[in-house]
């Protein structure tokens, strides 16, 4: 019986002969959408199974074990990470984006199954995070490894990873259009038929998978009863401004809490402190438990008492202003509870917590307008929906995703105008205040973020190692001119010579032009030393610190044709402007084709 490698080799030969590359990509996008949809369905079912067990076994509704449940879940995740995964959990979408820009879209096999285990444990035991990020990560890892198995090139692999994200989102929200838009906005794809058709196929495949396993069950059992009223336009503008400030708060709070946990070096201390903090928050604000879709549904149904759950403030819920304060508390503490879950070692995503926070804020704004006594009456359910769009647009910097997602959730486009108003205002204010998102801050700092700017993207995709040249003959500062000519100049094809000390640290350079006027004067061979003619290079390139954009900028500012590369304080080679521009042009042609 032929082995697996032999069968794969035969299949690949048959594929190259009988199936065009375009057709194969379309077939693969269907497969990727299917497996991403399966990953999303698996995540949802495992999480719901854990929550159902806990609800049957203990009186969660009485808040008796909110203190201990998150600690148990985080402990199980910690044990898995320490003894099985053996590597810190990264942020799902950020790690995918980094892989696309710096690792040719190659993702480890363990990223396929790790999210399917850690995310349900985190969310099922009360961690205040979402399942979308882990679903995207698992589907993307599957897509990456299948692409590697079938010898698919890096550019197509990146497209299929974006298809995986579309399949996962389409499966979770049953919103195929928003899934496509998310992939284009977040993964910075060009909106062309070459990319849209595979995304469309993956999205359809993902949503059909969801329908097959979950039927017509939807996350939000809601139908619009009130459309857009022109008189409410100003209130939607106010909501847009409010969601913008909430988005800025959400993002800044995320990074502040992560920084707050850094002094706790041991994961055990982070787990304990974070788990107890989450438990306390859940005791006072039960809707922070898990993802929070039940909370959103209750608000959409107009049942804020059920949405708030059993709290120590139940005796005061007859006052609408107490209800408003408690709902505003959810707006404030959802970001805190979510980030604390991450900081304590939990696994999950930020997209769905963003929706929960937005729904609470939108509902608060509507309730305040309706209860000011000024005679205004706006739809609380509509504001709840549009508040979600405002937060998604601001936090993720994905306004089109926000608009189409909420439009598809509502089953129509009656709210398209207010969605556009709120989402665009939130996005514009947030984008002009913060150049980064939760997904992208670290990538921006590393120069590893792909954007819709083609020049920037090409520079990001380029690797410094590909343009470093090492065929330069080094010289020592104590060398005489004669030694330099015989040992280096005569044996080199280059006109620049790095001057290195005994520890291979660069102390200067010598150009052929620096010695040209006396290189044939034999009287100076023993009296002139390298240290007498060397000088500092116009600029240095620092390996692992300088992005390709910064490298290009250094060439432009210095006017040099060759610049030395320094790695960990030591010389490793030079980059020439000609090779850099040639590599840039090739990458641009490959990216644009």
User: Among 2.60.120.10, 1.10.3080.10, 3.10.20.30, 1.20.1250.20, what is the CATH number of 4-214?
Assistant: 1.10.3080.10
Dump pLDDT digits (tens) for 290-317.
888 888 888 988 888 888 877 777 777 7
Q: Quote the tokens at residue 308.
A: 């708030």
Dump pLDDT digits (tens) for 135-183.
999 998 998 898 888 888 888 888 888 899 999 999 888 888 899 988 8
Dump pLDDT digits (tens) for 462-471.
778 888 888 8
CATH of domain 230-452: 1.10.3080.10
Q: Quote the tokens at residue 510.
A: 């010598």
Could you check whether 4-214 and 230-452 share the same CATH topology? yes
**Residue 546 and residue 497: Cα distance in Å, rounded?**
23
What pTM was computed for the model?
0.79
- CA distances (Å), 528 to each of 321, 485, 515, 525, in order? 87, 12, 10, 6
Q: Quote the tokens at residue 245.
A: 């400030």
Dump pLDDT digits (tens) for 212-259.
887 766 666 666 667 778 888 899 999 999 999 999 999 999 999 999
**Tokens 């020439």 correspond to what residue?**
576
**Residue 163 and residue 147: Cα distance in Å, rounded?**
12
Domain residue ranges of the chain, discontinuous segments joined by +: 4-214, 230-452, 456-592
Q: Work out whether the CA dihedral 545, 548, 550, 552 comes out positive or negative.
A: positive
Whether the Cβ atoms of residue 512 and residue 496 lie closer than 8 Å to each other: yes
DSSP 3-state percent helix, strand, coil across the chain (nearest 5) = 65, 5, 25
Dump pLDDT digits (tens) for 191-204.
666 778 899 999 99
**Residue 45 and residue 223: Cα distance in Å, rounded?**
25
User: Among 3.10.580.10, 3.40.50.1000, 3.40.630.10, 3.40.50.800, what is the CATH number of 456-592?
Assistant: 3.10.580.10
């Amino acid at each position: 019986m032929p082995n697996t490698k032999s069968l794969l080799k035969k299949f690949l030969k048959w594929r190259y002969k009988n199936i065009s590359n375009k057709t194969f990509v379309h077939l693969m996008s269907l497969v990727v959408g299917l497996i991403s949809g399966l990953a999303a369905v698996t995540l949802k079912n495992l999480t719901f199974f854990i929550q159902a067990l806990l609800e049957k076994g203990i009186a969660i509704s009485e808040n008796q074990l909110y203190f201990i449940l998150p600690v148990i879940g985080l402990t199980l995740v910690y044990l898995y990470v320490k003894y099985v995964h053996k590597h810190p959990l990264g942020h799902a979408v950020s790690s995918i984006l980094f892989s696309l820009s710096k690792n040719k879209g190659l993702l480890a096999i363990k990223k396929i199954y790790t999210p399917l285990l850690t995310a349900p444990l985190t969310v099922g035991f009360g961690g205040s995070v979402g399942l979308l990020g882990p679903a995207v990560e698992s589907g993307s890892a599957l897509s990456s490894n299948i692409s590697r198995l079938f010898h698919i090139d890096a550019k197509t692999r990146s497209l299929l990873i974006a298809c995986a994200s579309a399949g996962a989102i389409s499966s979770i929200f049953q919103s195929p259009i928003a899934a496509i838009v998310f992939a284009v906005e977040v993964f910075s794809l060009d909106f062309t038929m070459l990319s849209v058709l595979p995304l469309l196929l993956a999205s359809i495949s993902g949503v059909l998978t969801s329908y097959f396993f979950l039927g017509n069950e939807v996350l939000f059992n809601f139908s619009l009863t009130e459309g857009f009223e022109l008189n409410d336009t100003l209130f939607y503008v106010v909501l847009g401004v409010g969601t913008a400030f909430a988005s800025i708060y959400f993002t800044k709070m995320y990074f502040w809490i992560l920084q707050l946990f850094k002094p706790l070096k041991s994961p055990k201390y982070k787990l304990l402190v974070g788990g107890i903090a989450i438990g306390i928050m859940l005791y006072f604000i039960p809707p922070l438990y898990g993802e929070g879709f039940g909370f959103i549904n209750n608000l959409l149904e107009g049942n804020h008492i059920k949405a708030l759950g059993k709290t120590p403030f139940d005796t005061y819920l007859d006052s609408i202003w107490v209800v408003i304060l408690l709902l505003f508390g959810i707006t404030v503490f959802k970001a805190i509870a979510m980030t604390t879950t991450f900081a304590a070692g939990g696994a999950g995503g930020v997209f769905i917590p963003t929706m929960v926070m937005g729904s609470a804020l939108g509902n608060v704004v509507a309730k305040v307008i309706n209860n000011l006594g000024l005679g205004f009456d706006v739809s609380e359910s509509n504001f709840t929906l549009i508040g979600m769009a405002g937060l998604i647009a601001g936090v993720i910097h994905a306004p089109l995703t926000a608009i189409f997602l909420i439009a598809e959730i509502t089953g129509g486009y009656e709210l398209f105008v207010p969605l556009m108003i709120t989402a665009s205002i939130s996005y514009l204010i947030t984008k002009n205040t913060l150049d980064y998102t939760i997904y992208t801050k670290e990538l921006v700092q590393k120069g590893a973020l792909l954007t819709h700017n083609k020049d920037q993207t090409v520079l990001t995709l380029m690797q410094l190692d590909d343009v470093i040249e090492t065929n330069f003959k080094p010289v020592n500062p104590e060398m005489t001119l004669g030694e330099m000519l015989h040992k280096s100049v005569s044996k080199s094809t280059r006109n620049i010579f790095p001057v290195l000390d005994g520890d291979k640290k660069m102390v200067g350079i010598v150009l052929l032009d620096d010695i040209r006027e006396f290189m044939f004067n034999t009287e100076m061979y023993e009296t002139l030393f390298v240290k007498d003619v060397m000088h500092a290079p116009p600029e240095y390139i620092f390996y692992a610190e300088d992005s390709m954009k910064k490298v290009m900028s250094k060439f432009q500012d210095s006017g040099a044709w060759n610049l030395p590369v320094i790695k960990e304080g030591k010389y490793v080679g030079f980059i020439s402007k000609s090779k850099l521009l040639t590599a840039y042009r090739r990458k641009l042609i490959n990216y644009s084709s």
